[in-house]
Structure 1
Amino acid sequence: MRTPGFWYGPPGLAAALLAPLGALYGAAGRRRMAGTVPHRAAAPVICIGNLVAGGAGKTPVGLAVAAALARRGVAAHALTRGHGGREPGPLRVDPARHGAADVGDEALLLAAAGPCWVARDRAAGADAAVAAGARAIVMDDGFQNPGLAKDLSLLVADGAVGFGNGRLIPAGPLRERVADGLRRADALVVLGEDRAGVAAQVAARTPGLPVLHARLEPAAADAADLRGRRLLAFAGIGRPEKFFATLEALGAELVQRVPFADHHPFRPAEIAALIDRAATLGALPVTTAKDAVRLPPGLRARLRVLPVAVAWDDPGALDALLDRLPLTPRPNGGPHGEAA
């Protein structure tokens, strides 16, 4: 689904007309929360969630949290629903055997860095990870899923757009009311410049809730290589404009921007046409790491992929949050659990 433009503007006629449906959506979510007894896993669960539909940067933050746990010698496994994939799980992701159509694109990104499980039943997925040696679970999304108890919940917000027009789906991007979500969170991560005033909104609604600031950055070598280059950029993420802005900030010249819907399943003919169009324009075709795992394998080598990673303004703030958890390092200090 392509994100409706009115979600991130001042509330207008479309938002007003859809507000009753948004109220029903919110009420259904609150009933689900109230009527579910969460399962407690045998290892701490760290949830990386958000309050809006679409990409806010959860997966890069989850990777950064898993890396921080690995530095402590804690065997952390990732857990995700596998949005866009056909496998219900619990299934340990093997990038050599599984594709995006099997497990979704986020799962493949997470599995490239460490053990990752796909499970529509998050509780069953957490138990499978623990049985395979996980001493911490980093759950990508699932903040609004009450089936699995969370020991630490980090909400991620895109500093450029924040919580959008403040309305619930479908009148706006919110999965639940901002105040409700902030009350259940342990901290909020603002990615990028806080142009939407997210930190001020959090201070007004939930004084004392820690706010961490970070940004998504490409590796220095990638940034230097793309500076001054003519690019045809395409992306099928929650907000493709964020990727385009990243490229422009590097000093690249974007001769064409091609947005797709989030999780778009790329067809070979589509990608071949983009590559041909880039050649006609004298440009280099470039996309995101999340999109790259959905590309036809035979065409990936013909374009450029720009991976990004989280850079924290204050890395110690994340460490302080992790210090709250009963984390047990592996006896040999290794970062990963045993194979299932």
Structure 2
Amino acid sequence: MRLATPRGWYRKARPSLAARLLLGPLAAIWAGETRRRIAGATPVAPPIPVICVGNLTLGGTGKTPVVREIVQRLRAAGVEAHALSRGYGGRLSGPVRVDPTIHGGFDVGDEPLMIAASLPMWIARDRPAGVVAASQDGAAVVVMDDGHQNPSLRKALSIVVVDAETRSGEWPFGSGAVFPLGPMREPLAEGLARADAVVLLAPADLDALDPELMAALRGPVLLTARLIADAPPPPGSQIGFAGVGKPWKVERALLAAGCDLVGFEAFPDHHPYAEADLQRLAAQAGRAGAGLVTTEKDWVRLPPEWRTRVVAWTVRAAFDDPAALDALLASALKP
């Protein structure tokens, strides 16, 4: 059973005493085990460079659009770049190259399906084996979606994506507490120490980046990017829904883009939509005389017969300084 991300995790306030007493020991165990696993590993030297795009929290940063943009830029520069994911939520262990014509979300996971619609995409529980398979298929570089806390591979470049939105009292790291007391996969300082670069990803309508947040990320190379919609939201009244790390951000983004949202329902991240879920949403839309809109990540998890009834609102990561990104990527490809 997947649980919804607690929005309270992203408040700066220190967790309550009760939460600290109950969950603090578990958070300490989590952080300690992550630290020991990374420190005790001997990373495998891959046959081709590996660029890792990860994050420091449990989701909702926009990591997958950044992966897609990096692969596209490398390929536009003539580099045979492939993407690689663990394939979270899929039944296949891999290595397997994702084919959207034969694979579904239950096979390979939703994020790999998003990328595979336009780019070479692999899934593999065993990341080193996935890199070998991609290399044998002609890849000159692999861009790994997630894996900053996975020490199995030697990385030519480690990038972490951070949510730049700090409105409404939210902070991307919350109080800084590690799971399950907070959203962090590991303490901030430890994660940043292994990062070569940070991508600060902001929504399209955010006027200015928070200087306090930028100061907190000093050390690695800092790049900034915006999450831009590929097209306006669908016209007319809409019922929105999303099962992503921060579904409230989807609702906020749709409203900011001018969508006439008359209802919105949040689901847990990677939620497997049942027929009953979709029938209920469709009934709600019917009563309101509205359409249905969701994210691209949610849309690929829908049964094929529902995809014609729901609009996918797609977004991409647009870097403020593309030349700086290209220079960073080129440095990772040097022998």
TM-score by length of 2: 0.92
**Structure 1 match to 2:198:** 188
**Structure 2 match to 1:57:** 62
What amino acid is aligned across from residue 256 of structure 2 in structure 1? A
Report the Cα offset of residue 269 of structure 1: 2.3
Report the Cα offset of residue 41 of structure 1: 0.9
**Cα separation, 2, equivalents of 1:176 and 1:196:** 23
SS in 2 for 1:130: helix
SS in 1 for 2:294: strand
SS in 2 for 1:323: helix
Gaps of 5+ in 2: 166-170
SS in 2 for 1:138: strand
Q: Compared with structure 1, are the counterparts of its residues 159 and 277 closer, same or farther at alpha carbon in structure 2 (3 Å cutoff)? A: same
Runs (4 or more) in structure 1 with deviation over 4 Å come to none
SS in 2 for 1:231: strand
Residue of 104, 114, 139 corresponding to 1:99: 104
Report the Cα offset of residue 286 of structure 1: 0.2
**Structure 2 match to 1:44:** 49
**Structure 1 match to 2:168:** none
Gaps of 5+ in 1: 329-340
**Structure 2 match to 1:331:** none
**Structure 1 match to 2:4:** 2
Question: Could you tell me the percent identity over the aligned residues?
Answer: 47
Report the Cα offset of residue 197 of structure 1: 3.7
2:273–2:301 CA contact under 8 A, matched in 1: yes
SS in 1 for 2:217: helix
What amino acid is aligned across from residue 301 of structure 2 in structure 1? R
**Structure 2 match to 1:16:** 20
Report the Cα offset of residue 253 of structure 1: 2.1
SS in 2 for 1:324: helix
**Cα separation, 2, equivalents of 1:76 and 1:15:** 44
Pairs within 5 Å for 1:221-236: 222-223=231-232, 226=234, 229-236=236-243
**Cα separation, 1, equivalents of 2:222 and 2:308:** 39
1:74–1:327 CA contact under 8 A, matched in 2: no
1:190–1:198 CA contact under 8 A, matched in 2: no
Report the Cα offset of residue 276 of structure 1: 2.1
Number of aligned residue pairs: 320
1:213–1:312 CA contact under 8 A, matched in 2: yes
**Cα separation, 2, equivalents of 1:121 and 1:213:** 31
**Structure 2 match to 1:198:** 213
**Cα separation, 2, equivalents of 1:30 and 1:245:** 35
**Cα separation, 1, equivalents of 2:264 and 2:175:** 25
**Cα separation, 2, equivalents of 1:293 and 1:249:** 24
Report the Cα offset of residue 92 of structure 1: 1.1
Asked if residue 171 in structure 1 is aligned to residue 181 in structure 2, the reply is yes
Q: Compared with structure 1, are the counterparts of its residues 85 and 190 closer, same or farther at alpha carbon in structure 2 (3 Å cutoff)? A: same
What amino acid is aligned across from residue 166 of structure 1 in structure 2? G
Q: Deviations over 1:67-98 (max 9, x none)?
A: 11011111111100000011111111111111
SS in 1 for 2:283: helix
Asked if residue 132 in structure 1 is aligned to residue 137 in structure 2, the reply is yes
Asked if residue 256 in structure 1 is aligned to residue 267 in structure 2, the reply is no
**Structure 2 match to 1:217:** 228
